[in-house]
Chain A
Amino acid sequence: MERGVIPMERYEIIPHTADIGIKAYGKDLKELFANAAYGMFDIIADLDGLKSSITVSIKAQAPNREELLVAWLGELLYHFYTKQIIFFDFEIEELTDTRVKAKASGRSVGENRNRLKTEIKAVTYHELKIEGKKKRFTATVIFDI
């Protein structure tokens, strides 16, 4: 963190009647993608105090930046369900408007089953938005739960 810069929130929940949405923040797009992913897993499980023990390489592609965000989150969700890993640390190695490459770290669901809160079925394209101003990017994503 730069000195003198007030840390911003990683994300906030936006209420949706049937589902759940987040507004994620970041000083750049890499941080934005990482924070959106953190927000998603914070809905899925209680992440408080968890230390990571597994790291997985994640790659995703899409035709544009917004759809790439959905593809990235979708990729993580797929790994959560099939490899049973709760992710909470994200190191974005490469990010363009159409490709993302990252290392996602987390903890196996196994002994943490009682931390699970909400089943996110999928990441939707509904009201999907990425907006960027200088050093403050926001992304709006709605999840089907």
Chain B
Amino acid sequence: MTYEKIDNYRWRIPKSYKSGMRVDGVIYADEKMIEDIRSDKAAEQVANVAFLPGIVKHSFAMPDIHWGYGFPIGGVAATDIEAGGVVSPGGVGFDINCGVRLVRTNLKESDVKAKLKDLVYGLYNNVPAGVGSKGEIRISEAEERKLLVEGSAWVVKKGYGSQVDLDYTEEKGAIKGANPDAVSPRAYERGKNQSGTLGSGNHFMEVQVVDHVYDAETAAVFGLEAGQVTLMIHSGSRGLGYQICDDYSRDMIRCLAKYNISVPDRQLACAPIKSEEAQAYLGAMRCAANYAWANRQCLMFLARRVFEKVFAMGPKDLGMDLIYDVAHNIAKIEKHDIDGKEKLLCVHRKGATRAFAPGHPELPAKYKKTGQPVIIPGDMGRNSYLLTGTKGAQETFFSTCHGAGRLMSRSAAIKAGMGRSIKAELEKKGIVVMASGRETLSEEMPEAYKDVNEVVNVVHEAGISKRVCRMRPLGVIKG
């Protein structure tokens, strides 16, 4: 594959690379990263996404790009609805609205250090995690249908949080247009009893400390300063989302012939947004998105309860306010300016985060000046970041990276972890880790990931988001 260097942080895959590409591919990366990307199959996937009917501008990939299925992880693509644009379930992924939320606290590192083990064990024992884990919230199908439409608000109504939490959640925790009738009985069955569960693999809950502030003024708006403790939650729509993606991926393979669409990978199966099939998928996908926001709201509630117990403090003194919650696997209908004309686009972000610039009407009043908070989890041994959206992100439909991005396959990581105790290695660095899966810690070892510092450096330097502060892990629970 040939890359053309656009500048120090942008690389082009020209549409002449492969017959059928409708637009160029553009990858955000530095010189060193592009070498790793070259040895992966991810770049080929960037080219494949460029086949999608109605795609506008470019098939984008963020610096945390790695090989996925259909779309690469870190892929961003928008299609023009009026120009026959399509939606592809493979451009969202199985874990619909996998995302992260960041919670501030009034605690300092020294407060937490003394009780770190109690805190991590407390979280581990009170937050259901692991393969197929079940939550404490049991609801009827009729109630579940309500949850799929109301999202986080449903959970708040049950007493698991407050109205303020909704204000600081993307889409206020419930995207409009969710259609519970488009969700299959199997998806209901797999989603049942999984509300308030973390899941497995790379999903986690992490206690962190702000260890560097780049922009004190913005950090202050988020209620943060150096030395302060934060909580980060990474989870998604669990079995419900997986089943919805599964159901519709199968249906959409049929749509390729029906709508005469040619794509190089079956996992890129798609349908024109105006079609019945696409509307059904979007209705179901939004249900899963709302389920995921509800889930993260439950998880935050469970975590707040543990903090209150471990520190014997009330909610007011703890100050565990939600800074923001972002989706990083989703397709959204958004208006964007394309060559001076406002167009209605379907923006796919798969392993990418929405990053609205200051002044965007959808931002809560408090964040109008700062831009949207963007939460970037790293691996469990290094750092995580809080960024904000910028005007420069207009070029990517206001999208940026979503994490560190994997570097090693899981089997390679398990091999590299043989004979080692990842838990002990992290403990030496002062990080307490608990995981339920036998191989999770090896699979998720820091060196299996790209260095998030390098990833964030690219999006900052490229001007598609801006650093606010950096966090360092203190304690982690994994599924």
Contacts and interface: CB of A to CB of B under 8 A. Distances in A.
Interface string B221-242: 0000000000000000001001
B20 interface: no
Interface string A57-82: 00000110001001100100010111
Contacts of A82: 186, 189-190
B199 A119 contact: yes
A116 B189 contact: no
B94 interface: yes
A122 B250 contact: no
Given A18-B68, A82-B189, A144-B69, A125 B249 contact: yes
B347 to A, nearest CB: 21
Contacts of B316: none
B201 A118 contact: yes
Interface residues of B, number: 46
Nearest to A78: B186
Nearest to B438: A117
A46 B414 CA distance: 15
Contacts of B443: 118
B420 to A, nearest CB: 17
Nearest to A114: B438
Contacts of A144: 69, 93-95, 242
A125 B250 CA distance: 9
B253 A125 contact: yes
A136 interface: no
B265 interface: yes
B210 interface: no
A98 interface: no
Contacts of A121: 94-95, 242
Interface string B82-120: 000000001001110000000000000000000000000
Contacts of A145: 201, 410
B279 interface: no
Interface string A106-145: 0001000110111101111111100000000000001011
A3 interface: no
Q: Classify chain A's interface size.
A: 35 or more
A112 to B, nearest CB: 11
Nearest to A84: B132
A56 interface: no
A81 B201 contact: no
Contacts of B254: 63
B269 interface: yes
Given A20-B409, A81-B239, A118 B437 contact: yes
Given A109-B132, A125-B266, A145-B201, A117 B439 contact: yes
Contacts of A62: 250
B94 A122 contact: yes
B408 interface: yes
A44 B437 CA distance: 10
A30 to B, nearest CB: 23
Contact of A18 (B67, B265, B412): B67
Contacts of A18: 66-68, 73, 406
B411 interface: yes
Interface in B399-443: 406-412, 437-439, 443
A13 interface: yes
Contacts of A97: none
B134 to A, nearest CB: 10
Given A118-B437, A125-B249, A17 B411 contact: no
Contacts of B411: 13, 15, 20
A116 B42 contact: no
Nearest to B407: A17
B264 to A, nearest CB: 11
A109 B184 CA distance: 25
Contacts of A84: 132
Nearest to A13: B411
Interface string A37-63: 000000010100000000000000011
**What 6 A-B pairs have minimum CB-CB distances, sorted nearest first?**
A126-B69, A119-B200, A15-B409, A125-B266, A124-B69, A126-B267
30 contacts: A15-B410, A17-B42, A17-B67, A17-B408, A18-B66, A18-B67, A19-B68, A19-B69, A19-B410, A46-B438, A62-B250, A67-B250, A70-B250, A81-B190, A82-B186, A116-B130, A116-B132, A116-B438, A118-B131, A118-B437, A121-B95, A121-B242, A125-B269, A126-B70, A126-B267, A127-B69, A142-B69, A144-B69, A144-B93, A144-B95
Interface of A: 13, 15-20, 44, 46, 62-63, 67, 70-71, 74, 78, 80-82, 84, 109, 113-114, 116-119, 121-128, 142, 144-145
Given A19-B68, A20-B409, A125-B253, 15 more contacts: A15-B411, A18-B406, A20-B410, A63-B254, A80-B132, A81-B132, A81-B190, A82-B189, A113-B130, A116-B130, A117-B438, A118-B443, A124-B70, A125-B266, A126-B69
